[in-house]
Structure formats: C-alpha cells, structure tokens
C-alpha cells in the first residue's frame, strides 16, 4: 500500500489476524486504510487520534458511504493505530514482546497488566473503547505520549526481597481502601528509593537512608516541595506499616516548605469559549464539572442512580469513598434528561444483545448480583463500545475514560486561544471562585467541594482580590 512503510503493513496484518478478521474482508480493511492515509495527506488534522477518526468518518459520509461502511472504516483505522503502537512497543524494548489477544481485547477491571502496551479502538464518532480500570499508561493520551507503563513499579524484579515489600505495600494500601493513585505513587517512590540505595537489603534500612535520599531529591534533582513531601509520606508509610520500624525523629529529616499555590481561574467568557468548542459528550461533562464543582473522575463516573431530578440533587462519591450531594444546575437539566434518554436506549439495546452489564466497584456485584444489568447502575456517560473481557469473554460497558475528556478539553482550550494553563481541575477551581465572588459562605463552598478541612477551601480567597486591592493604583499610573 502506498504511503505506508512495509513494517507498518506487516504489523497491521498481524492485528487483523489477532482480531480474527476474515480473509475475505481484509482487502476492505486495507482499502479503508489507504483512503485514510490519502485523507491525512490532503487535510490538516488534529493530533488526537479520536478526532482524526471522527473527521475521516464525516468525510466518508459526505461521499455517500453507508453507516456500515463508515463503521468498518473507523475500525480499520483504529486497528492501524494499534499496529503503530505495536511497532513502537517492539522497537522500544525487546522485553515487551508481541501484542496478545488479551492486550487487544481488553483486561478485567483492577487486574494489573503484564506485558505489552494496551491498544485502543475507535468508533466512527471518535469514541474510544477503553479497557476498564487498566492501571497502565498505554499511550492513548496524546498529552502523555512519552510516558510508558506507570505501573511497572508493581512488577517483579531481580530482587525478591524488595518485590515482597512492594506486595505487602500494595496489600496494606488496598486494605485501607486508599485510592489507586496512592498505591501507584507510594510503590513508585519505594522503587526509586530502592534504586538510590543500590538495592540495599530492606532489613538494613534506617532513617538516615531516608534523610540522604530526600536531600538528594532537593539538592541534586531539584524537585518541587510537593514532590519532596510526597516522597517523604511514601517512605514514612513504608517504614511504619511495612517494615515495622521506628522512623525516628521527624525533625532530623528535611521537609520542604509548601509553596503558596494560587489556582488558575477562568472568567465566564473563557468558560463559554471552551464549552462552545467541545462536542458531545465532553461538553456536558465539562458543564457538569463546572456547574457542580466536581473532580474529573467524579464527573465521568456518575451513574444514572446518582441523579435526583425531583429534588434537584446529584449524589457524588468523592475521594476516599466520601459521598456528598450537590445541586443540579437548572440550565443543563434538559441536556441531562436528553442524555438520560440516550443511556436508556443504549441500555435496552445492550440487554437485547445479551451483554453482561457495567463494571461495578469492589464486591458490589456479589452483593447485588443483578445490579450490573439494572438501569439505575448504568454509567451516565458510557463508552460507545463494549469491552470484551479476555478471560471470561463477557461484554461489559465502561464509562468515558477521563483521559479522553482531558484531551478533548486540551484541544478546546487551544482552539479558544487561551493564554492560561487550563486542566480539567481548573473547572473545579473556577466553580469555587465564582461562588466566592457571589458572596457564598466559605463553609458552604467547603461542603459542595467535599473538602475535609476548611483550610483547603480557603485557598480560593486568594483568587478573589479585595476591594482595597482593586482600587489600588500602580505608581506608573500616578
């Protein structure tokens, strides 16, 4: 095929075989790939792969192709992206190996992935079929393209003593129901500490080793104060709860002073400019996050049962499993009801197709065996494609992955040509600041945000200048 290197063609054919594409259909897939390469040469396309698939699908529709052909073309392009990931993984490390059936079709929830990079599949609308709860960085986010396997810290190494320590660390964190990010960070810092000490026997560790490592981070690595404090907390947890050793006097260990952080806040015009450049369902996710002050993971993990339209309240399960209720913005109620109707129709189609239900947290499925297939437990922002569990061959549905929303928001910010550094959390910062500007009580804002300490909420007072500061003039203006 023209314009495509021979090695990519080989990897593409391998992906077709792994996905059990019939021999008679493979020429069609190669044809769609050739069309896509021509389309990419003729038109400037965004870096986000999902957007490329969507634009290509729209072009095919304008040429009179049927929906079945468009879906087949979108799937062919997504397989091509998988072949690119396979080639990159094979060239980056000889230990990575080839893509397995489990890697192509997805993995079960909360199951650590061993082996190759996990590919993703796009549909004609640009939505991505994500492996549920996949704990690795698999290249699906363009903003994090250079990172590889954030969970390699949990894999076995050449040092069994440290491997046992990491296993105990993971078990302790899971038993305490800490977040998966806490597990990732603590295990990662423990591995870095291990490398710094040249794999010293864990039984011989001392607080002096920690002091030396933190000094190394501050002086040689020049890390930020928050990074240094995170490393300190991780090693403190390691000593107290895993090694069962006295950490010694904290005063003898250097602690970085936390810098004062003033959050980035958007104006109302900037919010509208971003929302106008987002498409479904990301626009509604952004409106829900800004309108209710949700964190990114709280917004994408909302279920149907969490909405109480009669009372105008949304139940949110936040950090640490803590729940809170926030008012639903009246302005987006029609859009929320339309999304609810969409989810209801999608759920009916799923039941007719005999799918196994949505993913549930922890042991909820054992406690409520029918919950996964019940409507009230469905994701409010579901992925468009079903995920196939390799071990059981079950078809399950996952929610829109937060990385897809992050990429969509990043693209919208670029299109709006904003000079501020905007992330999904900026919408939450803006929610709190705008309420403060509207003279809402700080305790009320604390409750809506789900902060355990009002001092965390007080940081938004720095975003609202006082009347005296507004009226003050610079000496240049005298």
Residues labelled catalytic: 295, 319, 425, 428, 451, 460
Is cis: bond before 281, omega within 30 of 0?
A: yes
Of 208, 187, 198, 188, nearest in space to 159 by CA: 198
* Alpha-carbon separation of residue 248 from 190, 251, 452 (angstroms): 18, 9, 29
Q: How far apart are CA 207 and CA 249, in angstroms?
A: 9
- Separation CA 328–CA 313 (nearest Å): 5
Strands 395-397 and 357-358: parallel
CA–CA distance, 213 with 251 (Å, rounded to integer): 15
Q: Quote the Cα angle for 328-333-337, to 5°.
A: 120
Contact 336, 302 (CB under 8 A): no
Task: Give one word for 47, left, alpha or beta, with left for phi > 0 and alpha for psi -120 to 50.
Answer: alpha
Question: What would the DSSP string read from start to end of 191-243?
Answer: HHHHHHTTS--GGG--HHHHHHHHHHHHHTS---HHHHHHHHHHHHHIIIIIS
Looking at residue 303, what DSSP letter applies? B
Helices (H), 220-332: 225-237, 268-275, 282-292, 296-300
Spacing of C-alpha 145 from chain mean position: 13
Closest CA to 14 of 119, 138, 149: 119
Contacts of 373 (CB under 8 A, 6+ apart): 351, 355, 356, 357
The two tokens of residue 142 are 């363009």
């Amino acid at each position: 095929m023209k314009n495509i290197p021979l090695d990519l063609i080989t990897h593409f054919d391998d992906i077709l075989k792994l996905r059990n594409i019939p021999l008679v259909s493979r020429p069609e897939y190669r044809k769609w790939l050739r069309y896509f390469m021509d389309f990419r040469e003729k038109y400037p396309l965004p870096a986000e792969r999902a957007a490329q698939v969507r634009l290509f699908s729209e072009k095919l529709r304008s040429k009179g192709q049927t929906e079945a052909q468009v879906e087949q073309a979108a799937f062919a392009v997504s397989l091509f992206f998988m072949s690119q990931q396979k080639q990159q993984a094979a060239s980056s490390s000889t230990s990575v190996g080839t893509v397995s059936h489990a890697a192509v079709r997805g993995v079960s929830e909360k199951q650590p992935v061993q082996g190759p990079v996990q590919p993703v599949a796009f549909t004609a609308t640009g939505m991505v079929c994500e492996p549920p709860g996949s704990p690795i960085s698999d290249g699906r986010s363009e903003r994090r393209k250079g990172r590889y396997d954030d969970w390699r810290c949990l894999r076995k190494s050449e040092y069994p003593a440290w491997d046992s320590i990491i296993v105990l660390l993971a078990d302790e964190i899971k038993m305490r129901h800490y977040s998966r990010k806490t597990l990732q960070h603590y295990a990662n810092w423990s591995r870095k500490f291990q490398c710094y000490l040249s794999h010293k026997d864990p039984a011989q560790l001392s607080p002096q080793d920690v002091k030396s490592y933190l000094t190394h981070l501050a002086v040689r690595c020049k890390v930020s104060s928050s990074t240094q404090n995170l490393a300190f907390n991780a090693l403190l947890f390691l000593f107290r709860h895993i090694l069962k050793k006295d950490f010694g006097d904290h005063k003898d260990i250097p602690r970085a002073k936390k810098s004062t952080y003033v959050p980035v806040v958007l104006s109302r015009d900037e919010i509208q400019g971003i929302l106008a450049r987002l498409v479904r369902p990301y626009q509604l996710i952004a409106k829900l996050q800004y309108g209710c002050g949700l964190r990114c993971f709280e917004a994408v993990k909302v279920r149907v049962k969490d909405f109480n339209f009669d009372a105008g309240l949304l139940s949110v399960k936040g950090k640490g499993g803590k729940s809170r209720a926030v008012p639903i913005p009246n302005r987006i109620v029609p859009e929320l009801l339309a999304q609810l109707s969409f989810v209801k129709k999608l759920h009916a189609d799923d039941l007719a197709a005999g799918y196994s239900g949505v993913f549930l947290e922890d042991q909820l499925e054992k406690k409520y065996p029918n919950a996964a297939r019940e409507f009230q437990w469905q994701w409010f922002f579901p992925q468009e494609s079903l995920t196939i569990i390799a071990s059981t061959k079950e078809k399950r549905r996952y929610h829109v992955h937060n990385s897809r929303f992050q990429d969509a928001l990043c693209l919208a910010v670029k299109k709006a040509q904003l000079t501020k550094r905007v992330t999904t959390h900026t919408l939450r910062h803006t929610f709190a600041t705008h309420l403060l500007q509207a003279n809402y009580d700080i305790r009320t804002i604390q409750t809506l945000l789900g902060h355990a300490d009002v001092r965390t909420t007080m940081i938004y007072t720095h975003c609202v200048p006082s009347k005296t500061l507004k009226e003050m003039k610079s000496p240049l203006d005298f």
